[in-house]
Amino acid sequence: MIKKVDHIAVAVRDVEKAAEFYEKVLGLTLGGIEEVEGMDVKVGFLPVGDTRIELVQPLDPNSGLAKFIEKRGEGIHHICYEVDDVKEALQTCKARGARLIDETPRPGAHKTLVGFIHPKSTGGVLTELTEHPDGS
Ligand code: CO
């Protein structure tokens, strides 16, 4: 079901500022910045091999992400795994006892489909599943 780690998301207050560590210290390259429609987040992508780090900045102060940073500070927010079919993978996880945040997939960055599994059923790690439209 799982193909690979698609990305690791880090909650930040400011994408450009946070990217400095990854670029200047780790020598990675910020591949792009995207504002995800409907999710009120600004996302900076840093490719690492065939996976990537995503710096996610809340644009809405009332969003879950903003509250996460307020409560816990900046840091790792979620791990995302790539699957062939998000809808099917979500149902499989549910059938295996996981508590879903998304019963059905929703649009993510880069025209992907995504769905989240609740951290209460994953040992505390917010877990995202993603499907790339062209299988890339
Ligand atoms: Co993500």
* Distance from the alpha carbon of residue 27 to the mean position of ligand 1, in angstroms: 22
User: Residues with beta carbon < 5 A to ion ligand 1?
Assistant: 9, 80, 128
CATH at 105: 3.10.180.10
Examine the domain organization and report whether 15 and 53 are in the same domain: yes
Q: What is the pLDDT of residues 57-79, one digit of tens each?
A: 999 999 989 999 999 999 999 99
pTM to 2 decimal places: 0.91
Ligand 1 centroid–CA 26 distance in Å is 21
Instruction: Give exposure, 15-29, as e/b (b: 16+ Cβ within 10 Å).
Output: beebbeebeeeeebe
> Distance from the CA of 69 to the center of ligand 1, in angstroms?
16
Question: What percent of the chain is predicted at pLDDT more than 70?
Answer: 98
Tell whether 51 and 89 lie within a shared domain: no
Asked if pLDDT for residue 136 goes beyond 60, the answer is: no
Mean pLDDT (whole number) for 47-61: 96
User: How close is the Cα of 7 to the center of ligand 1, in Å?
Assistant: 7
Residues 37 and 17 in one domain: yes
> Predicted confidence band at 135 (pLDDT cuts at 50, 70, 90)?
low
